[in-house]
């Protein structure tokens, strides 16, 4: 076995688990699920059959992922966040053949206790705040907050709010931690220094400061702007 599973975990026959993944207490991986390389599943995580999970995905405690959901590489799911697959469930109505698709694109973060209504797409490196209820698609790098969630700004790959300023008819912002530059054009954000499909270089993959420390040194940075 090329992955680690705690003795209390249930790993059904017929699922796929990539090398280097770690599966902790009381998890259940169903037959037909696909889990990529170097993933980490916290306590009490359920993965249904048909779910597709990419590489280096982190899923915190008490998360259930149901059929119809796809997580691309490097997605983060916070503790007790909720994903569903039917918009109008009724106990007496069978709709297994009508599961709605939910796609979380590469690098997206879903905060603790957030809820995603099914049938939506969360863009690359989008950031859903804790407790938010997302009912519609979120673009790449979007910061989504509230109930229902609304876009409140843009986040860098390092998880910092981006403040865009006009420069030569374009809007550019720099991540205060990595220094990567981001461009805003036609309501779309792209990183100018690293392709979206490329992982962070090793020297930039370890955070240097906690978010409270960063905010103390940058009082003008407000996640609600």
Q: What percent of the chain has a predicted confidence (pLDDT) above 70?
A: 93
Which of 132, 157, 182 is the last residue in one of the domains?
157
Confirm whether 82 is domain-assigned: yes
Do residues 174 and 198 share a domain? Answer: yes
Q: Looking at the predicted structure, is the pLDDT value of residue 55 above 90?
A: yes
CATH of the domain at 94: 2.160.10.10
- Based on the domain organization, do 141 and 174 belong to the same domain? no
Decide if pLDDT at 23 tops 70: yes
**Do residues 79 and 187 both lie within one domain?**
no
23 shares its domain with 103? yes
Residues 38, 121: one domain? yes
66 and 141 co-located in one domain: yes
Per-residue pLDDT band at 215 (split at 50, 70, 90):
low
Say whether both 22 and 57 belong to one domain.
Answer: yes
Cα–Cα distances in angstroms (integers) from residue 179 to residues 175, 206, 212, 218, in the given order: 5, 14, 19, 15
pTM: 0.92
Q: Does the residue 97 lie in any domain?
A: yes
Q: Stretch 179-202: mean pLDDT, rounded?
A: 94
Domain extent, residue 176, equals: 158-215
My answer on whether 67 and 106 are in the same domain is yes
74 and 147 belong to one structural domain:
yes
Read off the pLDDT of residues 78-102 as tens digits, 9 standing for 90 and up.
999 999 999 999 999 999 899 999 9
Q: How many domains does one find in the chain?
A: 2
- Calpha distance 59→69 (Å, rounded): 14
Same-domain status, 180 and 167:
yes
Spatial CA neighbour of 102 closest among 55, 53, 140:
53
Any domain includes 225: no
- Indicate whether 169 belongs to any domain: yes
Q: Is the pLDDT of residue 213 over 80?
A: no
Both tokens of 56, joined, read 């280096």
167 shares its domain with 141: no
Are 166 and 152 found together in one domain? no
């Amino acid at each position: 076995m090329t992955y680690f599973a705690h003795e209390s975990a249930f790993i059904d026959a017929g699922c796929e688990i990539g090398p280097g993944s770690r599966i902790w207490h009381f998890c259940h991986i169903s037959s037909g699920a696909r889990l990529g390389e170097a993933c980490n599943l916290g306590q009490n995580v359920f993965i249904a059959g048909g779910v597709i999970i990419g590489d280096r995905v982190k899923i915190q405690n008490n998360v259930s992922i149901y059929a119809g959901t796809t997580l691309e590489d490097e997605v983060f799911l916070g503790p007790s966040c909720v994903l569903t697959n039917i918009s109008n469930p009724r106990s007496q109505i069978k709709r297994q053949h009508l599961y709605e698709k939910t796609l979380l694109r590469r690098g997206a973060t879903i905060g603790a206790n957030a809820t995603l209504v099914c049938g939506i797409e969360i863009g690359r490196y989008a950031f859903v705040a804790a407790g938010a209820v997302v009912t519609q698609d979120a673009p790449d790098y979007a910061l989504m907050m509230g109930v229902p969630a609304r876009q409140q700004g843009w986040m860098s790959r390092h998880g910092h709010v981006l403040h865009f300023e006009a420069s030569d008819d374009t809007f550019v912002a720099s991540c205060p931690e990595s220094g990567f530059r981001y461009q805003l054009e036609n309501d779309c954000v792209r990183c100018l220094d690293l392709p979206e499909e490329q992982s962070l270089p090793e020297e930039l993959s370890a955070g240097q400061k906690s978010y409270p420390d960063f905010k103390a040194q940058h009082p003008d940075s407000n996640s609600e702007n």
